[in-house]
A and B are shown apart, each in its own frame.
Chain A
């Protein structure tokens, strides 16, 4: 943003648009036997890997979207396409109406990109040095830089870290510093690929709270990938799921649960040592008189469930809750396989 003062970001219009995007890669196949090696020398065997196939979706400004899928589903490829690191084989990609390939430089003033397994920090220098480097390279004006530096220092608790070398920080501290650096130019869209990778619960908590805050208060559009579904559910309102390079689900997290049959957990605490049985319910665990069942509310109703439970003697406590999203997703992944 060279460098208009951008305290409020417009929340209307399209932030990201993919239409019929295909991306495939050629993968060399290597044989382990002499005959195969020789054959490969003359005629290399190649396999076409379809990373994305006819992928279309739209993300509005101000949305917080989770982008999930099994390993190799095409999540990182999508992130790289959106940030101009790759070009698609077919289809149209727009970020704020601009092509990431043709307008890479203009877009990079409006985008923040973070890959969880990489750092943009200068390794042998204190964090503040990396921040100053970013100020010059992104041509951030003094007032924007100062305001954003104060904001990320306070919200990400970076004060004690600013004079520390990147190589001397823990993973959680480094991720916070990377996140802070990414926000110095007031990006309107954040593309975060596995930002919570390897973080402990405290560091993860800080990151999630921070992302939710800048999404709600600053209107920053966020697209985040993670394998931690509980984190995603806590952060995002909308889930895009990709499988084998195709969008397999686009909607809310509750809608996702309904796909697998509106799975619900019923936890019964028994006081007399009885082992309860429930028709149409699957016993998941039993420990110290506490029994956890999985019930499909698509097959039965809560009222019917409660009626049947009231017939039991010796129930000291009943808890009904949504199935963990992690388990719902695992079931979906299994079905896709």
Chain B
């Protein structure tokens, strides 16, 4: 049995990247249309908040430049989500609900490796990430942030925590698709994207109860606001390490629930199979 070494994993990422590039080159018009639509959608969400911040000279104690920094973080997260979630591997309820996990069982790879690699689309998915990087550079300059290696590492850790929370939330709600494949097929996209707008709203100045509920029960505050504040040197309530701890706990709960759902799946089987959405 071949071992999954870092080189082997990079090769897997490489083939998915190649497939993504091939699509961009072959169907350039459609690919550019899709990339542009993604970027416009995200830019309109973040610019709405930013324009309000300019109009009112900041929001809830955050200056307009700090809001711009938060929007940069949010756009980076959206960019990473699109780069690594190209084939429903993050919205996994679609794969489960459509009975398409069986395509994965016949591959000689661990399921988690397949899921981590199969959505990699760095070419068609990079639009928002590049815009986010641009916004980040501009906001760093305007805020005169000292970019040290430890600050970059902290940024990387927060991005990792945010992505972990997104994936864990998706996998946690997606477990419902093991039990109700028809009803829960789209539950991940509803749960994640349905509240995405909320994640771009600066929570500074909001009542503590609202802030607390939005970083615990519905963790939209951890998508951009909390990490941005922490990176600006003003971590909000519960301390700077809170997103990392929350990400680890949520990931553990999601992994437990997903394993349980998988056991149900291989015991009961899926009485549903839909060919659409499989490798398209």
A122 to B20, alpha carbons, bound, how many Å? Answer: 12
Nearest 9 CB-CB pairs, A to B? A108-B108, A136-B15, A2-B2, A106-B1, A139-B2, A105-B108, A85-B105, A113-B106, A123-B280
Let me know if A19 is at the binding interface, CB within 8 A: no
Task: Answer whether residue B22 sits at the interface, using C-beta atoms and an 8 A cutoff.
Answer: yes
Other-chain residue from B102, B110, B275 in contact with A85 (beta carbon distance below 8 A): B102
**Secondary structure of the A contact surface, majority rule:** loop
A129 touches B22 (CB 8 A): yes
Q: A25-B268, A106-B108, A137-B15 are in contact. Are A118 and B279 (CB under 8 A)?
A: no
Residues of chain A from 90 to 125 with CB closer than 8 A to chain B in the complex: 101, 104-106, 108-109, 111, 113, 117-125
Contacting B19 at CB < 8 Å: which of A80, A85, A113, A125? Answer: A125
Chain B residues, CB < 8 A from A139:
2, 8, 108
Does A197 count as interface, using CB distance less than 8 angstroms?
no
Q: What B residues does A26 contact at CB under 8 A? A: 268
Min Cβ gap B263→A in Å is 8
Give residues of chain A (30-55) contacting chain B, Cβ–Cβ below 8 Å: none
Q: In the complex, what residues of B have CB within 8 A of residue A129's CB?
A: 19, 22
Does B255 sit at the interface, judged by CB under 8 A?
Answer: no
Query: Chain A CB within 10 Å — which of B2, B11, B273 has the most?
Result: B2
Complexed CA–CA distance, A262 and B11 (Å): 59
Q: A83 contacts B105, CB within 8 Å?
A: yes
How many chain-B residues does the 8 Å CB contact rule pick out? 31
The verdict on B116 contacting chain A, using a C-beta distance below 8 Å, is: no
Assuming the contacts A80-B269, A119-B275, asked whether A137 and B22 have C-beta atoms less than 8 A apart, the reply is no
- Do A125 and B23 have beta carbons less than 8 Å apart? yes
- In the complex, what's the smallest C-beta–C-beta distance from A29 to chain B, in angstroms? 14
The reply to whether A108 and B22 form a contact with Cβ atoms under 8 Å apart is: no
| In the complex, B107 has a CB within 8 A of chain A | yes
9 pairs of residues in contact across A and B, judged by CB atoms under 8 Å:
A85-B266, A85-B269, A101-B266, A105-B1, A119-B275, A125-B19, A132-B15, A132-B18, A133-B15
Question: B156 on the interface (CB 8 Å rule)?
Answer: no
Distance, CA A25 to CA B279, complexed state (A): 29
Contact with A along B14-50 (1 / 0, CB 8 A): 1100110011001100000000000000000000000
**B267 on the A face (CB < 8 A):** yes
CB of B278 within 8 A of CB of A123, answer yes
Q: Which residues of B contact A87 (CB under 8 A)?
A: 266-267
Of A86, A109, A138, which one neighbours B266 at CB under 8 angstroms? Answer: A86
In whole angstroms, how far apart are the Cα atoms of A118 and B273 in the complex?
Answer: 9
Size of the A side of the interface (Cβ < 8 Å), in residues, is 35
For residue A62, CB closer than 8 A to chain B, the reply is no
Q: Which residues of chain A come closer than 8 Å to B18, judged between CB atoms?
A: 132
At the interface, yes or no: A70 with Cβ under 8 Å from chain B?
no
Residues of B contacting A125 with CB < 8 Å?
19, 22-23, 26
A136-B278 in contact (CB<8A): no
- Complex-state Cα separation, A86 to B2, whole angstroms: 23
Apart from the given pairs A118-B273, A124-B23, A136-B12, 5 other A-B contacts in the complex at a CB distance below 8 Å? A25-B271, A77-B269, A85-B102, A123-B278, A129-B22
Separation of A191 and B279 alpha carbons in the complex (Å): 22
**Residues of the A chain whose Cβ atoms lie less than 8 Å from the Cβ of B253:** none
User: Which B residues between 159 and 207 are near A, CB-CB below 8 angstroms?
Assistant: none
For A136, the chain B residues whose CB sits under 8 A away are: 11-12, 14-15
Q: Does B55 contact A (CB under 8 A)?
A: no
| Chain A residue contacts of B108, Cβ below 8 A | 104-106, 108-109, 137-139
A84 CB within 8 Å of chain B: yes
- Asked if B112 is at the interface (CB within 8 A of a chain A CB), the reply is no
Instruction: Give every chain B residue within 8 A of A118 (Cβ-Cβ).
Output: 103, 273, 275
Contact code string B236-280 (vs A, CB < 8 Å = 1, else 0): 000000000000000000000000000000111101010100111
B54 at interface (Cβ–Cβ under 8 A)?
no
Interface centre among B18, B106, B109, B271 (most CB of A within 10 A): B106
Give the complex CA separation of A214 and B276 in angstroms.
Answer: 32
Q: What string of 1s and 0s marks CB contacts (under 8 Å) between B208-240 and chain A? A: 000000000000000000000000000000000
Choose among A26, A108, A121 the residue with the greatest number of B CB atoms under 10 Å from its CB.
A108
Give the Cβ gap from A224 to chain B, nearest Cβ, in Å: 16
Q: How far is the CA of A101 from the CA of B267 in the complex (A)?
A: 11
- Which residues from B are CB-within-8-Å of A137? 12, 15, 107-109
